[in-house]
Structure 1
Amino acid sequence: MANGDVAVESESTSTTARRRTDVAIVWGAGGSRRGRISDRYAVHQEGTVRSSGRNFIYTRTHSTDSMGNESPDRDAVKSVETTFAVINALYELDGAGVSAVATELDMAKSTIHKHLRTLTDAEYVVREGDQYHVGLQFLELGEFARTRKEGYTISRAKVKELAEETQERAQFIVEEHGRGVYLYREVGERAVHTDPGIGKRIPLHSTAAGKAILANLPEARAEEIVETRGLEAVTENTITERGELFSELATIRERGYAFNLEENVPGLHAVGVAVTPNGTDVCGALSVSGPSHRLRDDLLRTEIPRRLLGTVNELELNLKYS
């Protein structure tokens, strides 16, 4: 168990078997606005989730036989999965009533009502009339998650500087669970608004910042991400062959920057450079993006890469000695 969890042992009806309950505070949630939630969450049973102040508490029970072998009680685990599925349904439906969430998740209305009531009591969900919405409690958690990331605070000034100098869009992106996450972004006077907002997740293999990160991760980690996440064809220009991708990653490591040539959004080009404060570990990547008719030729191939490399060098020095 993690630090702060509580273990409680009690005798069962058998004189040789024991039960242990792990208690943990459950924080946060995520969403990807793709497909029906019930297709992504196979959860149809109630477990034990109760509210406690600002958080909801997850109780996981283990049964232990006379040989000391234990198996988790799946009902408790499924209940937590259901809670997160409900949160994601509210996010993807932009708020909904009990019936709509139950239909989306293919679950009983009574089950959905219990979870919504618990989440409302814990202040993670708000009720407005007969509609439930994701609450601002997640904003506090999200901001905490963002500010704890290495490079976030210092990178903001550099992102703003890049946006002003190039008059395009500039962003700082990090890797989490094998995907890129927008941590901070600024837009210049001529910038186009095509990408999702802060906190949104994007494929690594189809973006300049993502490929710069992949190129500088340990090879085993990059292999793991590709194996787990796959190489989806986001556009007709996306690299979908493993060999081709790793060949490009080798080129990126050698020259120091990555290109995205309409591989994530049609009509959009980008340049990305990884941020490695100690020369090895990647804490994120800076990138500049703009319409393909503007970001081309020397501007794309020379000027913006040179500007990005200089900015990243300053950022790495600040991170290393701050």
Structure 2
Amino acid sequence: MYDWLNALPKAELHLHLEGSLEPELLFALAERNKIKLPWNDVEALRGAYAFNNLQEFLDLYYQGADVLRTEQDFYDLTWAYLLKCQAQNVIHTEPFFDPQTHTDRGIPFEVVLRGIRQALVDGEKQLGISHGLILSFLRHLSEEQAFETLEQAMPFRDAFIAVGLDSSELGHPPSKFQRVFAKARSEGLRCVAHAGEEGPPEYIWQALDLLKIERIDHGVRAIEDERLMQRIIDEQIPLTVCPLSNIKLRVFDDMRQHNILQMLERGVKVTVNSDDPAYFGGYVSENFAALHDSLGMTEAQARRLAQNSLEARLV
């Protein structure tokens, strides 16, 4: 079953490039950039990957991203992810990157973008993996800072297909960024947003009605609101669900409690993604395998989930 899942053509629509930074590469970049790490070795770092919630993960995620300094670093990060895609027959990817994670450390926007972009272009030429890059705002930062980031991105407008919204969800509702997303739409950018991971269904309503998003990232808490479920089904709004992430961050205590197949059977356009695979223990195929092992996902369901991912892509 696992080999067959691996061979299934699929798209990945919810992947944070910074979250694909494997410990081995993190240590290599730290050495290259002469950065002292708080962990003695790769195993010590892996041992820190026990999280009780989203915030505990984010604290480590931002600490890890500090090793990314040069254009070559961002290229190597992205290329390593694309090689994983090739091995798992991910034929199209729409990754997020968080410019504010880097510009706030003094790394110029264009350094980050050039490295990522060149790897994606090379991935299309050499590996046959098509792509669309999504610029994501950090929701724990201010609306003003998001506007500044959008302004920085405008000279490189053609490098992106969409804007997104991620980071700490609770206490940072989508409504906080309504004007930023309106500006992005006026520039011709598509819109997606994280909503309904730790946040309530109300955050999903806001993302749909105020941010005018076309795709919901996570969205698993939609099932708590029947009217919202009906809208998502009727309008066929895709959800980019990340099963292993949801367990690692305690959105569900156990994979057997996950609602992705329940949603699939109700007609929701759910997709399977890896979110931050270096931290959560698996890429797309491992997420599919976890659904098979814990929920008894059938071959027909796996095919529908893979097909949904290809249909839910923005480009």
Higher relative contact order (CA 8 A, sep 6+): 2
Normalising by structure 1, we get a TM-score of: 0.25
Larger radius of gyration: 1
Point out the structure with the larger helix share.
2
Q: Which has the higher strand share?
A: 1
